[in-house]
Amino acid sequence: MVKKEIEIYFLSEAENYFNNLPQKIKDKFTISFTKTKVGYKGAWFSKLNDSDGIFEFRQRDSEKFYRIFAFWDGTGKDKTLIVATHGINKKRNKTPIKDIRKAERVKKNYFKSNSD
């Protein structure tokens, strides 16, 4: 069985968030994306408890925590997508439930629009 290639796909809000990050944090996220695409597992990308299949890419610096929310789309023939929905900066490590729910709504709408 051939394993499908993993690709990170940014929805527009996630892309805007990522593009406006400090370069040092963008570089850290890019390393995390690369590790995830080749199949490495680590604290930089994990499933959120109490969510419907929502994951987050995690980075931090001395002042803030940075999160990019995402979900898996394994419906493609050649590739499995990790679809990034949006991102947030925060002062504390706790993930706001409203952002988890937002990612879940985006995921639901994504699959609904792709099945039509």
Place of tokens 């879940």: 104
Please list, residue by residue across 74-101, b when 16 or more beta carbons sit within 10 angstroms of its beta carbon and e when fewer do: eeeeeeebbbbbbbbeeeeeebeeebbe
| pTM given for the model | 0.93
Q: Which residues of the chain have pLDDT under 70?
A: 1-2, 116
- For residue 116, what pLDDT is reported? 61
Taking alpha carbons only, the member of 93, 23, 83 closest to residue 58 is: 93
Q: Which domains does the chain possess?
A: 5-115 (3.30.2310.20)
Per the CB < 8 A criterion, the answer to whether 80 and 46 are in contact is no
Residue pLDDT, tens place only, 35-57: 999 989 899 999 999 899 999 99
Please, where are the H alpha helices in the chain?
12-19, 23-37, 97-115
Taking alpha carbons only, the member of 20, 39, 50, 27 closest to residue 82 is: 39
Taking alpha carbons only, the member of 71, 73, 72, 67 closest to residue 99 is: 67
Q: What is the CA radius of gyration of the chain?
A: 14
CA 62 to chain centre: 22
